[in-house]
Amino acid sequence: MKPIKKFLPLSCPSCASPLKVTSLACEACDTTVSGSFELPLLARLPADDLQFVIDFVKSSGSLKVMAQQLGLSYPTVRNRLDDIIANIETIEKNIKASR
Ligand SMILES: [Zn+2]
């Protein structure tokens, strides 16, 4: 059977509120830690946004290099970054509002 690629769910499927981590497990010794842990900001980005951020850092923050690697125009990549910046600002506001 082909392994299923699973994505970390970021919001509640029932009410759409952000999810927290309440359990972590060590696969080596089967220890489980439970509590209420906030996801780090970058982990709250959708998987494709997070991959863009990783690629951006690995290209030393060069949108020109990113555009070449993705086969997209510079303005397209610039718009994509602006969307991610807006997304990060919204997440930061939500984190502040929940404290
Ligand atoms: Zn362990």
Q: What is the pLDDT along the chain (99 residues), one digit of tens a residue?
A: 788 888 888 889 999 988 999 999 999 999 999 999 989 999 999 989 999 999 999 999 999 999 999 999 999 999 999 999 999 999 999 889 887
**Which pLDDT value is given to residue 58?**
94
Ligand 1 centroid–CA 12 distance in Å is 29
Side chain identity at residue 49, one-letter code: D
Ligand 1 centroid–CA 28 distance in Å is 5
Ligand 1 centroid–CA 2 distance in Å is 28
**Which pLDDT value is given to residue 31?**
98
**Which pLDDT value is given to residue 30?**
96
- Stated length of the chain: 99
Q: Cα–Cα–Cα angle for 45, 12, 92, nearest 5°?
A: 35
**Which pLDDT value is given to residue 16?**
92
**Which pLDDT value is given to residue 35?**
97
Ligand 1 centroid–CA 88 distance in Å is 33
If residue 83 lies in a helix (H) or strand (E), which one and from where to where?
Answer: helix 74-97
At 60 the three-state DSSP class reads coil
Side chain identity at residue 60, one-letter code: S
Ligand 1 centroid–CA 23 distance in Å is 14
